[in-house]
Structure 1
Amino acid sequence: MSVAQTIADILNRQNVKATFFLANEKTSRGDFSLDDSWKSYWQDRVREGHHFGSHTYDHLYFVKDGPAGEIFAKPQFGPKAGVATLYNEASYCREIRRVDERFKELTGTSLQKIWRAPGGKTSPRSIRMGDQCSYQHIGWSPAGFLGDELSSQTHPNKMLLDKASSQLQDGDITMAHLGIWSRKDPWAPAVLEQLILNLKARGFCFATLPKRDK
């Protein structure tokens, strides 16, 4: 969340609506992104007309399918952080739905019925679990990986900006974060606004998820 407000300001300035996928992640302030301390931030984004989905409450990284219809996933936060844990359909659904319940407590608004797996790591079984829980999984396009998780030494901001500006195509879904702990050269202030301007110059407009039927 270190550049959360910066990103919100850029989106407002450029009149772009985004889709935020939320997990209860530790922030640079020492709190968590779904704590009451972030209530006004999320309320403001709702008022601005953005969309919201689940990123699983404790940021569950899929590990592998389990032996009897379950999956193994490793929470990044919460009481089982760092431990590969077995989830059946009900318990995995609970991790997806907990974000929805908490977001409604904070904002009075429900999520769209969409979710994104941390790291984009899934299996057909985990996707099916989300579907049976009434949440559609949404990933990103290959060109839409904007690279803010990568090392700034090997992937400087200019490289990421040039790549996304030239390679994104109509209908692509992009993905970036509200801050990355490990990146030394912050991505958002240097790249996001110029990327939006470059894409607008190519004739693109922007839309929230889920995609509307044509």
Structure 2
Amino acid sequence: MRCLSFGFLASLSIAVHVAHAAAPCSKPLYLTFDTGHMGVAPLIAEVLNRQNVKVTFFAANEPTKEGDGSLGDHWAPWWKARGAEGHAFASHTFDHVYWRSDLPRGSWQMRPTAGASKGQTEVWTSQRYCDQLQLANTRLEQITGVKPLPLFRAPGGKTSPSLLTAAKQCGFAHVGWADAGFLGDELPSDKYPNALLQHRALSNIRSGDILMAHLGIWSRQDPWAPAVLEPLIEGLKAKGFCFATLKDHPQFKTWTR
């Protein structure tokens, strides 16, 4: 019997490794983060790197514990590093604008929580809303060098059919989250401690779910991230789940490409 050469065996080993690494994700989850006060953003980034998990960030220029807003110059290097790591980005409206109600003739009552109109309820046209969606993506691309996805998440997930139609007409599809994917980091920690949120997520999350958390929540006393994040990722991996960004989500794949 002829002996196989070392070179052949090495090549075979590399080929098997590459094939294994490129194996399709059969039980995908889509972990997403909305901006917030950014206080736990560096720790979240460490966990994602350690676990080799790619996520989609929905960004607005929200007030932060440190620096000049979540899309300001202070945090620009943080975003640039996430772009280099292969994460995806999308709009959360630049001024973190909440939909309040529909008005006649294609307008809406909106309430920004950041920017020049912070805390004011105003009448917005579709053009003004579209400009807000694009402004966040323009800033993200400027600081990351990565073209964001043509997706957005309305703050609080609050929308109306007419608002979603207007957003689609200017090129943006809305992304919500699965019921089980609401990871609860904005709930009061006295009633929803981290252990309960982790157990609930591990019990209820199913393949294909979009998961949602934040880069910092002002109101929660016992921060969900990063304390729950790594055990949750490890627990989901142990159940056979894997992680992908929204550019690979079946519902949005055609839209984003």
TM-score class normalised by the smaller sequence? over 0.9
Task: State TM-score, norm by structure 2.
Answer: 0.81
Q: Secondary structure at the match of 1:42?
A: helix
Instruction: Give distance in 2, aligned partners of 1:13 and 1:171.
Output: 23
Structure 1 residue corresponding to 2:66, chosen from 29, 34, 38: 29
Q: 1:180 aligns with which of 217, 227, 237?
A: 217
- Letter of the 2:144 counterpart: T
Match of 1:199 among 233, 236, 239: 236
Greater fraction strand: 2
Please tell me whether residue 77 in structure 1 is matched to residue 114 in structure 2.
yes
CA distance in 2, matches of 1:47, 1:119: 28
1:7 aligns with 2:50: no
1:158 counterpart residue number:
195
Aligned residue number for residue 129 of structure 1: 166
Share of identical aligned residues, percent? 51
CA displacement at 1:30 relative to structure 2: 4.5
Return the match for 2:101 from 57, 64, 76. 64
Residues 149-205 of structure 1: per-residue CA shift (max 9 Å, x gap): 000000000000000011000100000000101111011121000000110111000
TM-score normalised by length of structure 1 = 0.97
2:131 is the counterpart of 1:94: yes
Rounded Cα–Cα distance in structure 2 between residues aligned with 1:158 and 1:23: 29
Q: Which amino acid aligns with 1:11?
A: L
Find out whether 1:142 has 2:182 as its counterpart: no
Q: Which runs of 4+ in 1 moved over 3 A?
A: none
Q: 1:101-124 CA distances to partner (integer Å, 9 max, x unpaired)?
A: 111221222211110000000000
Amino acid at match of 2:100: V
Task: Specify the code of the residue in structure 1 equivalent to 2:136.
Answer: V
Q: Work out the CA distance in 2 between the residues paired with 1:194 and 1:186.
A: 14
Q: Which residues of structure 1 form unaligned runs of 5+?
A: none
Kept after mapping to 1: 8 A contact 2:67/2:74: no
Whole-angstrom CA distance in 2 between matches of 1:29 and 1:42: 15
Larger Rg belongs to: 2
Report the AA paired with residue 68 of structure 1: R
Which one of the candidate residues 115, 120, 124 is aligned to 2:157? 120
Q: Counterpart of 2:148 in structure 1: which amino acid?
A: L
What is the identity, as a one-letter code, of the residue corresponding to 1:107? T
Give me the whole-angstrom Cα distance separating, in 2, the residues matched to 1:174 and 1:101.
25
| Cα RMSD after superposing both structures | 1.2
Unaligned runs of 5+ in 2: 1-37
